[in-house]
A and B are shown apart, each in its own frame.
Chain A
Amino acid sequence: MTDAHHHAATDPLAHPEVQQASAAAYISAYVLTVGLLGVGLFMTERHLVTPHSLIPVIAAFAIFLLVAQSLLFLGLDVSHSNIWKTVSLMLTVPLFILSIGLTVWMFHSLDHLVMSPEMPGMSLQPGTLQ
């Protein structure tokens, strides 16, 4: 056992998870998030992009920011102290994709196939829904 490890076991402030704190990384994550959400707001408010392509653009912003925050805020990497956090997140990401993606896709397909107005008797009448 090396001195560094022995030290980490006795002084909690010497632990790698305390020592990973970085003002530069945190400020970068902050500036990136506020900046990119601000750009997204500007694009949405000013209708700079057609509505059809705006959703993929702002979704890409969100995914980029989630990755950036994982690296800069949470400090995820493959170091000895963080590897299992990274691995467990990688194993959870497919669950996010399945639970959100499949549900939304399934219900939108269902809506499109079952609720289309041209089907007899299925036209949407707002008055009947209240």
Chain B
Amino acid sequence: MSAPKSTAGGAVQLWEYQPKPHDPVSTKTLGFWLYMLSDALIFAGLFAAYGVLDQPMNAAGGPTAMQVVHPVAAFWQTLAVLTSVLAYSLATVALKAGSRAGVALGILAAMALGLVFLGLELNDFVTLFAMGATPERSGFLSVFFVLIASHGLHMAFGLLWMLVMLVQIMRFGFTTEVVTRLLSLRLFWQFQASVWVCVYVFVYLKGIVP
């Protein structure tokens, strides 16, 4: 639309003669994208704090990363979160085809896997608390739990959003508003996969490097 266009007469059209139609889908997804970038900066702050506090001295004599992270067990969480993101992404492929059943199925699968992820994470927290590794034990454990739980909270709110979207799809169908929200949720859910890559590599894998 931006490039000069040739008309049938061969003359080049340099400007639009009609006002461009308002595109609410693009406007709202761009707005949501800018929110995602600011959310990413919150995680940047948390990773910066983690990078600073991930030191034996900040463990204050308590457990260090080496003792609290279990990358092999956390790989199940990796599989759960990524398969959930894939399921939601495939739901938007069904959206392209206008399949209400396909979208609902994809969202239900994404929710089930998201719940598996949260269950594994809570189970991990309970185990750590039982061995005395609580957030108030040391500066390192404070930032460890805040970082992991921030991602977990994003997952929980994403699941709530999915539940709301399931209801909206059934009640309203694929209206402009519902489709826009489904697209924003796709950005939100895929962003959780990117955050998890950073969490898994810089907390879980780096944690067991001597």
Q: Which residues of A contact B (CB under 8 A)?
A: 1, 5-6, 8-9, 12-13, 15, 17-19, 21-23, 26-27, 29-30, 33-34, 37-38, 40-41, 44-45, 51, 54-55, 58-59, 61-62, 65-66, 69-70, 73-74, 80-81, 84-85, 88-89, 92, 95-96, 99-100, 103-104, 107, 111, 115, 124, 126-127, 129-130
Contact = CB atoms under 8 A, between A and B. Distances in A.
What class of interface size applies to chain B in its complex with A? 35 or more
B52 interface: yes
B205 A88 contact: no
21 contacts: A1-B21, A12-B176, A13-B179, A18-B92, A22-B93, A26-B93, A27-B86, A41-B205, A51-B210, A58-B201, A65-B194, A69-B193, A74-B187, A84-B30, A88-B33, A92-B41, A96-B44, A100-B51, A103-B49, A107-B52, A124-B57
Given A37-B201, A62-B198, A73-B89, A9 B23 contact: yes
Interface in B19-56: 20-23, 25-26, 29-30, 33-34, 37, 40-41, 44-45, 47-49, 51-52, 55
Given A26-B89, A62-B197, A130 B61 contact: yes
B85 interface: yes
Nearest to A85: B33
A95 B96 CA distance: 35
Interface class of chain A by DSSP = helix
B18 interface: yes
B206 interface: yes
Nearest to A98: B44
A23 B90 contact: yes
Given A55-B209, A85-B30, A103-B52, A15 B90 contact: no
Given A18-B95, A62-B197, A92-B37, A30 B82 contact: yes
